[in-house]
Structure 1
């Protein structure tokens, strides 16, 4: 499979980035394949893509990633269905569980059973996009319709099909994943995988997890680039970004990014 380039805009800081549309248009003119946004606990991932899509023609529009606790699976599917229509079939739907600090601290939802929740979430989105029948799910995390005997239920829930027919029934779904089981889940039920940190010198870290990936499975690997004549200054820019995740995204005892860096052979450097 050919190597393709994408531009990651990420999520916003204290203010929107300058000339986001200009960057996307320039990337498209240079032949970039995709333009990607993210979300944490500020800006969302979908809205900027709708804006970018209105000013571009061919570049793919990807979420990298949306957090599954931010929306019900049917809500995420509605966003995907709408944006895919507006962009004439350019959407790549990237999603992931985020982490317990954001899920429980920002969304007010429990972080338990992330793998099972992700599997159900993707299954429901696939149902919506396929539109082959009323959407139903009997799993414990996203029961659809909401059971009549469940707490607070009025007993009036009805299985529904989306009113709007999706432009594509097979909108690509990519999973942001780091842990071995989560990466294996991506290879099992998704069209592609977003690794946050990946080293071509440590391929054994993920080898077993992606061994069962299907033909055409794609890996969108982020690469940090800082153009400078000062090598140490350039390294510092990259180090600061890695340090944010390895040291700041999670608690001292439960930090998934830190554990990954340790599995990659940098445990001593990653000690908190």
Structure 2
């Protein structure tokens, strides 16, 4: 199982975070993922990381397909792959209507079809084809007297950049298993993964091009070697409350839907109701303890070893750790310990 590092949303501490990423790379981390919701953009930070790291892979987690044209996504990915020496992975996702319509002012529609067409357009650009595409949602070039098919001026470092699709719903997960090199999961409970995602993964894999290779399944997990105290897990609990309660409207919240499929329907409703009514502390407290534990990786070395077996059995191939320890030295030490445990799987 590959070891990656999942960064948090960008802020004033980004430069210090990159200093840590350099140490995490020395400790054995093989990948770093930069998120993008309605924070600073991921692209500028990935360029910074490309200059500071040596061999680790870089990935967006995720770039939103509605806010960039498919051709711009392809150009951006090719540029990041170039400056990193062929180390970039395009993490791509549809985000949700709250962010896309509420922050960007772009209509959120047909996420699956747009994702499929975007992936195809990106791959044509990277192969330096003269781009002509006639889809249901994207037409390139547009009809008219002035438009003509073009191909990217530069020669991309690679003609195939890995695409990692973020997905939670069954149809999105099936699409990832069908067309992408990787699936970026979120809030994965390994005990329930087979029941919740098994059919969708099997459906997508049944149509998968063998040339794509095996599906990489990456999962972000808050991580620490130590006792799972309320203080240590407090940030993870609060983030679960935010996603279950606030990252989407009532009846259109993908994280809330996922947790319901895990079997927490009543709890998901309560967290959302509390959060949307402004009672955030109560919403955070209402997140089920079992869900907090299942979607994190905190405990003794023996506990973590057994949990890693659970993740491996669920099909996880890349673990994206978010180190939680209080000091930088402890976080680097924990990452090294996790690398050693993963090497024994």
Q: Secondary structure at the match of 1:5?
A: strand
CA deviations on 1:108-162 (whole Å, 9 max, x unpaired) are: 111111111111111100110111x2112111322100122xxxxxx31111110
Q: Secondary structure at the match of 1:225?
A: strand
Q: Which residue of 2 aligns with 1:180?
A: 170
Q: Which residue of 1 aligns with 2:267?
A: 269
- TM-superposed CA distance for 1:225, in Å, is 2.0
Q: Secondary structure at the match of 2:147?
A: coil
- TM-superposed CA distance for 1:254, in Å, is 1.2
Do structure 1's residue 128 and structure 2's residue 125 form an aligned pair?
yes
User: Higher helix fraction: Structure 1 or Structure 2?
Assistant: 2
Q: How is 1:48-197 mapped onto 2 (pairs within 5 angstroms)?
A: 48-131=45-128, 133-148=129-144, 155-197=145-187
How many residue pairs align between the two structures? 262
Q: Which residue of 2 aligns with 1:22?
A: 19
CA deviations on 1:15-56 (whole Å, 9 max, x unpaired) are: 343512211211110110101101112301111111111111
Distance 1:246 1:226 in 2: 23
Distance 2:151 2:167 in 1: 30
CA deviations on 1:181-227 (whole Å, 9 max, x unpaired) are: 01100011100000112111102100011114354210011111256
Q: Which residue of 2 aligns with 1:151?
A: none
Unaligned runs of 5+ in 1: 149-154
Q: 1:10 to 1:238 in 2, by over 3 A?
A: closer
| Contact 2:133 2:141 survives alignment (8 Å) | yes
| Contact 2:4 2:31 survives alignment (8 Å) | yes
| Contact 2:67 2:106 survives alignment (8 Å) | no
| Contact 2:183 2:218 survives alignment (8 Å) | yes
| Contact 1:10 1:36 survives alignment (8 Å) | no
Distance 2:143 2:104 in 1: 23
Q: Which residue of 1 aligns with 2:251?
A: 253
- TM-superposed CA distance for 1:233, in Å, is 2.1
Moved runs in structure 1, 4+ residues, more than 6 A?
none
Q: Which residue of 1 aligns with 2:198?
A: 207
CA deviations on 1:45-92 (whole Å, 9 max, x unpaired) are: 111111111111101011011111121111111111111111111001
Q: TM-score, normalised by structure 2?
A: 0.73
- TM-superposed CA distance for 1:269, in Å, is 1.1
Unaligned runs of 5+ in 2: 273-345
Bigger relative contact order, structure 1 or 2 (CA pairs below 8 A, ≥6 apart): 2
Distance 2:198 2:52 in 1: 39
Q: TM-score, normalised by structure 1?
A: 0.92
- The match for 2:233 among 232, 235, 240 is 235
| Contact 1:193 1:219 survives alignment (8 Å) | yes
Distance 1:134 1:85 in 2: 20
Q: Which residue of 1 aligns with 2:222?
A: 224
Distance 2:196 2:230 in 1: 28
